């Protein structure tokens, strides 16, 4: 069962990559040789890495390029897509498609797939830049026509005193010496004289400068000024080399933008808007009589502006050189930028159109070739017959020289092809989602069956009650289900084979069948269960319960993305005792305290994510509240029976804990104030915090095993550590949660109605009498109450993790958070501390849950299975919310949340083990006995 579970969850985990993350690249599509005359013989492409549009249009620091854009050239905004990273940006410019996040599944550094590019189609390409960019385009090239000169930007020689112009200087110097060398090198000069050639300069300096100095600073502006001057110089060198023959086109653009704080990756306007400037041969110039200024910019001419999408640059560059548009491109030629005669322009657009048809058609044929004809559903608006018709129709139009019609029709066909591509790209997504969903439900049914089997085993007398007629029918049903499953799996297997789908599809399609077969047989079990339920309780109540838990689990799943949703199950939880039958046994104060606690907890889910702002006063007040609670406890419980030796010890430890907490609060406050006043933080206080944190986990072990005493010790220790790492309201959240969890424990205790025992007499000790009986009688079977307990536990676990939005704090390093421990930037220590802080609320919840398990004598294995059921419902919900668009961070977060849900049970088992140690180990006994023994020896 355990290994099946692991296997099933692994399949669930990997299925998302086949469902959502597939490469959009079509292999082996036919290129189309364009018919128009090239307006240029060569193209020079400057990619100024990380230059955002704002830096170009709102500052006058790039005077030369601005002059070009406003006079004989064109400029505009090139809209990129997320993720705004260097690699996808360059792929969009040079290969014309927006790289799919499938790269995640296939590794980051390596080229995930071979694809066509402008460089690949050119006669020769020379490129200079960092190795990780220029090498993207050499791998797919088979013709050996791409020459690269690369450098490692992480090399020591570039890092000297943060001068980021060194990186660009390297590129410019290499290009200059390249053209010098060409004057003496005959072989090279011959190559340079050929047509359809490309020069590519990748300028990383701006990106590095933006990261280190931020885009609005003087340092950054110096870097782009340097780039501007050198582009002017390179243009002159190239013009001189070719004797000003007017056959060179220049293009300056950028792969992505940058935020004000020097980052990129997400979809901010600053990140997705990049500038481009186009000038030279074949560029449509503007007769600007009006000289109208663009109001969005600082003195840029509006008539020269022409906004495009980033991928459109690919067909644009191809058209200047009259080379085939790279087959994987989805860009549409911005024909307004081309200065050509109508026939030439029409032919250029037609070339772009044929490339898209070719790509679409290949994709269509790929799917069609393997699909079974009965089941196959073609893309109606543009099926095989229509493709042929349209090609011959446009060819005829070209022959008849009806160029205007060609332009119009081509543009329509391109739109059609793009939607067709999209259709076939996701062709298998729906069936896959369907089967994985079936598997999820099947697996949940299997888990339920497992629970029912245990229950049946515990209540053997029920199974005796046999109806022979029924048993024979159910046996026939079993046989039918099994035969049907075998038949269905053979059929499906054959179908997958015939369609030539990848091997893992067998698993996706066959798994639901096996899971359902296992879950449904023997049918008798389910019939018996239904009987039982029918006799015992009203069915509709059960229906409501199932509905509540399902909706609740889905809400928990939703909460991973929208934190406020957590408040819905929390409010439900607050109302719960009022529906419980034995509410009368609860003391009156609980009637108010419990709903109040739940509501306060839900308020935290509306608050902003911690980490951005600091309110140290909130942290300190949380500590003070806890100090009061702790003192109250001492006064109420410990002082009253201090005659006892154990109680005396507990009293002393409690007081020690109070002093430690007070000292920690003092440290938190002092350090924070010093940091704010820019004074050096105290080293002594830091070492004190380290000592306290090391001792903290040991202190609770000195308590006796009495529930409330031990729990108080544990919670004070956990809270103490947590506060040392807090910066804002999360301390208050922790206090509220601890109180709420313990209130829950109290309610559970009251509900089981043990009138003869008081809660302060219950201990974590296992009953000896029960242990002896253990062999004979099986554990108490699962009841509907356990479903509720498991749900509450799951809710608390999710709450402990997302209640204050902790996930964000894991991947950012803020010195502020670890002020009490270190002030130097040490990522490993910082991550460990933050991780421990994130884990500590779980521990608190898990310890109280153990107490509840002890009180209710719930079988813990079964509870874990119930938790697994809930996490599967959550997982099913998450399956439909995996994101495959957006920045790497957003995609990564959505994948990791899916993984978290998949692994949650494993995690709970782990946390329970730690909780077990904290609640059950006693060190004072062992220490005392050792001391005692030692003394005996010496005597």
| In the complex, minimum distance from the CB of residue 318 to Zn ion, in angstroms, rounded to a whole number | 23
| In the complex, minimum distance from the CB of residue 414 to Zn ion, in angstroms, rounded to a whole number | 28
- Between 86 and 332, whose beta carbon lies closer to Zn ion? 86
- Between 207 and 650, whose beta carbon lies closer to Zn ion? 207
Query: Which H or E run includes 47?
Result: strand 42-48
For residues 42 to 81, the per-residue mask of contacts with Zn ion, x marking binding by CB under 5 A and - elsewhere, is -------xx-------------------------------
Complete DSSP assignment for 151-172: E-TTSGGG-GGG-THHHHHHHH
Using the contact rule CB under 5 A, the part of the chain among 11-19, 203-211, 215-223, 930-938 near Zn ion is 203-211
Distance CA 194, CA 124 (A): 8
Distance CA 626, CA 732 (A): 9
Q: How many chain residues interact with Zn ion (CB under 5 A)?
A: 5
| In the complex, minimum distance from the CB of residue 208 to Zn ion, in angstroms, rounded to a whole number | 7
- Between 311 and 718, whose beta carbon lies closer to Zn ion? 311
- Between 251 and 340, whose beta carbon lies closer to Zn ion? 251
- Between 748 and 890, whose beta carbon lies closer to Zn ion? 890
255 binds Zn ion (CB under 5 A): yes
Residue nearest to Zn ion (CB): 86
| In the complex, minimum distance from the CB of residue 206 to Zn ion, in angstroms, rounded to a whole number | 9
| In the complex, minimum distance from the CB of residue 172 to Zn ion, in angstroms, rounded to a whole number | 18
Mention every residue, 6+ apart, whose C-beta is less than 8 A from residue 935: none
Mention every residue, 6+ apart, whose C-beta is less than 8 A from residue 863: 786, 789, 790, 793, 853
Mention every residue, 6+ apart, whose C-beta is less than 8 A from residue 711: 742, 745, 847, 848, 851, 919
Of the candidates 207, 312, 650, 730, which one interacts with Zn ion according to CB under 5 A?
Answer: 207
Cis peptide before 645 (omega within 30 of 0): no
| In the complex, minimum distance from the CB of residue 50 to Zn ion, in angstroms, rounded to a whole number | 5
Using the contact rule CB under 5 A, the part of the chain among 41-49, 165-173, 456-464, 854-862 near Zn ion is 41-49
Tell me the angle at which helices 860-879 and 888-920 cross, rounded to the nearest 10 degrees: 170
| In the complex, minimum distance from the CB of residue 84 to Zn ion, in angstroms, rounded to a whole number | 8
Using the contact rule CB under 5 A, the part of the chain among 61-69, 251-259, 339-347, 803-811 near Zn ion is 251-259
- Between 16 and 251, whose beta carbon lies closer to Zn ion? 251
Between the CA of residue 223 and those of 153, 166, 208, what are the distances in Å? 16, 10, 10
Mention every residue, 6+ apart, whose C-beta is less than 8 A from residue 889: 265, 266
- Between 41 and 49, whose beta carbon lies closer to Zn ion? 49
- Between 83 and 803, whose beta carbon lies closer to Zn ion? 83
| In the complex, minimum distance from the CB of residue 53 to Zn ion, in angstroms, rounded to a whole number | 14
- Between 257 and 805, whose beta carbon lies closer to Zn ion? 257
Of the candidates 70, 86, 614, 660, which one interacts with Zn ion according to CB under 5 A?
Answer: 86
Exposed, middle or buried: residue 62 (CB in 10 Å: 0-12, 13-18, 19+)? buried
Distance CA 295, CA 300 (A): 8
Distance CA 796, CA 598 (A): 11
Cα-Cα-Cα-Cα dihedral of 536, 542, 543, 546, to 10°? -150
| In the complex, minimum distance from the CB of residue 262 to Zn ion, in angstroms, rounded to a whole number | 9
| In the complex, minimum distance from the CB of residue 238 to Zn ion, in angstroms, rounded to a whole number | 24
271 binds Zn ion (CB under 5 A): no
| In the complex, minimum distance from the CB of residue 807 to Zn ion, in angstroms, rounded to a whole number | 24
- Between 49 and 650, whose beta carbon lies closer to Zn ion? 49
Provide the 3-class DSSP secondary structure of residue 98.
coil
Closest CA to 281 of 375, 196, 364, 224: 196
- Between 255 and 786, whose beta carbon lies closer to Zn ion? 255
Distance CA 81, CA 100 (A): 11
| In the complex, minimum distance from the CB of residue 55 to Zn ion, in angstroms, rounded to a whole number | 14
Would you report the helix, strand and coil content of the chain in percent, each value rounded to 5?
65, 5, 30
* Phi, psi angles (nearest 5°) of residue 154: -90, 0
- Specify the residue for token string 């062709």: 427
- Between 258 and 327, whose beta carbon lies closer to Zn ion? 258
- Quote the Cα angle for 628-630-636, to 5°: 100
| Rg of the chain over all Cα atoms, to the nearest angstrom | 35
| In the complex, minimum distance from the CB of residue 264 to Zn ion, in angstroms, rounded to a whole number | 6
- Specify the residue for token string 């013009």: 239
Using the contact rule CB under 5 A, the part of the chain among 84-92, 118-126, 353-361, 589-597 near Zn ion is 84-92
* Residue 44 neighbours by CB distance under 10 Å: 22
Among residue numbers 778 through 807, which ones bind Zn ion (CB under 5 A)?
none
844 binds Zn ion (CB under 5 A): no
- Between 100 and 207, whose beta carbon lies closer to Zn ion? 207
**Do 749 and 711 touch, CB atoms closer than 8 A?**
no
- Between 221 and 446, whose beta carbon lies closer to Zn ion? 221
Among residue numbers 329 through 388, which ones bind Zn ion (CB under 5 A)?
none
| In the complex, minimum distance from the CB of residue 795 to Zn ion, in angstroms, rounded to a whole number | 40
Using the contact rule CB under 5 A, the part of the chain among 20-28, 206-214, 507-515, 561-569 near Zn ion is 206-214
* Residue 291 neighbours by CB distance under 10 Å: 9
Sign, CA torsion 209/214/215/219: negative
Distance CA 876, CA 638 (A): 49
- Between 41 and 168, whose beta carbon lies closer to Zn ion? 168
| In the complex, minimum distance from the CB of residue 263 to Zn ion, in angstroms, rounded to a whole number | 8
- Give strand pairing partners of 251: 45, 278
Using the contact rule CB under 5 A, the part of the chain among 86-94, 294-302, 867-875, 887-895 near Zn ion is 86-94
DSSP state of 283: B
- Between 258 and 667, whose beta carbon lies closer to Zn ion? 258
- Quote the Cα angle for 861-866-872, to 5°: 125
Using the contact rule CB under 5 A, the part of the chain among 249-257, 464-472, 850-858, 899-907 near Zn ion is 249-257
Using the contact rule CB under 5 A, the part of the chain among 26-34, 233-241, 254-262, 712-720 near Zn ion is 254-262
- Between 128 and 320, whose beta carbon lies closer to Zn ion? 128
Query: Which H or E run includes 56?
Result: helix 53-57
Per-residue tokens: 909 = 């088992």
Using the contact rule CB under 5 A, the part of the chain among 199-207, 359-367, 441-449, 913-921 near Zn ion is 199-207
| In the complex, minimum distance from the CB of residue 504 to Zn ion, in angstroms, rounded to a whole number | 34
- Between 27 and 266, whose beta carbon lies closer to Zn ion? 266
| In the complex, minimum distance from the CB of residue 111 to Zn ion, in angstroms, rounded to a whole number | 17
Distance CA 220, CA 56 (A): 12
| In the complex, minimum distance from the CB of residue 261 to Zn ion, in angstroms, rounded to a whole number | 13
**Phi-psi sector, 744: left (phi>0), alpha (psi -120 to 50), beta:** alpha
For residues 730 to 749, the per-residue mask of contacts with Zn ion, x marking binding by CB under 5 A and - elsewhere, is --------------------
Question: Interface residues with Zn ion (CB under 5 A)?
Answer: 49-50, 86, 207, 255
């Amino acid at each position: 069962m355990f290994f099946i579970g692991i296997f099933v969850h692994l399949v669930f985990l990997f299925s998302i990559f086949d469902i959502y993350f597939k490469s959009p690249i079509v292999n082996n599509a036919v290129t189309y040789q364009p018919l128009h005359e090239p307006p240029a013989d060569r193209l020079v492409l400057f990619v100024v890495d990380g230059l955002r549009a704002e830096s170009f249009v709102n500052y006058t620091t790039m005077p030369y390029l601005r002059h070009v854009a406003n006079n004989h050239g064109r400029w505009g905004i090139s809209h990129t897509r997320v993720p705004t990273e260097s690699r996808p940006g360059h792929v969009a410019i040079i290969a014309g498609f927006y790289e799919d996040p499938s790269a995640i599944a296939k590794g980051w550094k390596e080229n995930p797939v071979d694809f066509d590019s402008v460089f690949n189609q050119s006669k020769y390409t020379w490129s200079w830049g960092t190795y990780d960019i220029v090498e993207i385009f050499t791998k797919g090239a088979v013709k050996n026509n791409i020459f690269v000169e690369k450098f490692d930007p992480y090399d020591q020689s570039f890092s000297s005193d943060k001068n980021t112009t060194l990186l660009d200087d390297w590129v410019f110097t290499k290009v200059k010496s390249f053209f010098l060398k060409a004057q003496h090198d005959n072989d090279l000069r011959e190559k340079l004289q050929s047509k359809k050639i490309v020069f590519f300069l990748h300028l990383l300096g701006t990106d590095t400068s933006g990261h280190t100095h931020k885009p609005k600073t003087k340092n950054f502006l110096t870097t782009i000024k340097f780039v501007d001057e050198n582009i002017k110089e390179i243009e002159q060198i190239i013009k001189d080399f070719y004797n000003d023959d007017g056959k060179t086109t220049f293009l300056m653009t950028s792969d992505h933008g940058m935020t004000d704080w020097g980052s990129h990756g997400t979809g901010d306007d600053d990140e997705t808007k990049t500038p481009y400037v186009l000038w030279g041969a074949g560029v449509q110039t503007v007769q600007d009589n009006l000289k109208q200024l663009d109001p969005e910019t600082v003195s840029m001419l509006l008539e020269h502006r022409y906004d495009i999408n980033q991928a459109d640059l690919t067909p644009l560059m191809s058209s200047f050189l009259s080379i085939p548009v790279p087959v994987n491109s989805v860009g549409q030629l911005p024909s307004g930028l081309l200065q050509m005669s109508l026939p030439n322009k029409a032919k250029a657009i037609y070339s772009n159109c044929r490339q898209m048809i070719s790509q679409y058609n290949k994709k269509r044929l790929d799917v069609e070739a393997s699909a079974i004809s009965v089941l196959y559903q073609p893309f109606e608006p543009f099926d095989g017959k229509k493709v042929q018709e349209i090609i011959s129709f446009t060819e005829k139009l070209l022959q008849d020289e009806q160029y205007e019609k060609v332009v119009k029709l081509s543009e329509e066909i391109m739109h059609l092809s793009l939607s067709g591509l999209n259709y076939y790209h996701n062709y298998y997504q729906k069936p896959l989602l369907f089967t994985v969903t079936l598997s999820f439900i099947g697996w949940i049914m299997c888990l339920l069956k497992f629970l029912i089997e245990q229950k049946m085993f515990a209540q053997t007398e029920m199974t005796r009650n046999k109806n022979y007629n029924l048993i024979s029918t159910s046996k026939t049903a079993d046989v039918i289900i099994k035969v049907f499953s075998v038949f269905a799996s053979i059929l499906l297997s054959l179908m997958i084979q015939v369609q030539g789908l990848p091997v893992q599809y067998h698993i996706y399609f066959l798994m639901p069948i096996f899971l359902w077969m296992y879950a449904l047989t023997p049918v008798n079990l389910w019939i018996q269960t239904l009987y039982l339920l029918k006799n015992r309780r009203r069915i509709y109540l059960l229906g409501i319960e199932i509905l509540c838990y399902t909706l609740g689990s889905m809400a928990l799943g939703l909460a991973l993305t929208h934190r406020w949703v957590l408040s819905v199950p929390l409010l439900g939880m607050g109302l719960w005792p009022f529906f419980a039958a034995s509410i009368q046994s609860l003391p009156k104060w609980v009637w108010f305290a419990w709903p109040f606690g739940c509501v306060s907890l839900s308020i935290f889910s509306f608050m902003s994510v911690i980490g951005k702002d600091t309110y140290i006063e909130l942290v300190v007040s949380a500590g003070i509240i806890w100090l009061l609670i702790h003192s109250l406890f001492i006064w109420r419980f410990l002082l009253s029976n201090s005659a006892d030796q154990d109680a005396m010890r507990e009293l002393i430890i409690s007081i020690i804990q109070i002093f430690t907490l007070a000292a920690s609060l003092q440290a938190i406050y002092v350090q924070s104030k010093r940091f704010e006043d820019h004074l050096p933080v105290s080293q002594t206080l830091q070492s004190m915090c380290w000592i306290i944190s090391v001792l903290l986990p040991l202190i609770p072990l000195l308590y006796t095993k009495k529930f409330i005493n031990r729990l108080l010790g544990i919670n004070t220790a956990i809270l103490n550590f947590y506060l040392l790492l807090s910066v804002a309201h999360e301390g208050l959240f922790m206090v509220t949660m601890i109180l709420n969890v313990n209130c829950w424990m109290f309610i559970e205790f009251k509900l089981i109605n043990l009138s003869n025992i008081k809660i302060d007499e219950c201990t974590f000790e296992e009953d000896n009498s029960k242990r002896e009986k253990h062999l004979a009688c099986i554990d108490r079977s699962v009841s509907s109450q356990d479903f509720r307990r498991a749900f509450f536990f799951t809710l608390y676990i999710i709450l402990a993790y997302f209640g204050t939005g902790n996930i964000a704090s894991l991947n950012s390093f803020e010195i502020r958070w670890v002020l009490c421990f270190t002030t130097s930037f040490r990522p490993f220590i910082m991550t460990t501390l933050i991780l421990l802080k994130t884990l500590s609320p779980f521990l608190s919840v898990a310890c109280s849950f153990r107490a509840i398990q002890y009180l209710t004598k719930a079988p813990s294995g079964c509870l874990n299975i119930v938790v697994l059921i809930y996490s599967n419902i959550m997982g099913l919900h998450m399956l439909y919310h995996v994101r495959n668009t957006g920045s790497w961070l957003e995609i990564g977060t959505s994948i990791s949340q899916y993984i978290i849900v998949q692994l949650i049970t494993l995690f709970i088992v782990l946390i329970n083990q730690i909780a077990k140690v904290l609640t059950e180990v006693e060190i004072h006994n062992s220490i005392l006995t050792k001391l005692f023994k030692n003394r005996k020896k010496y005597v």
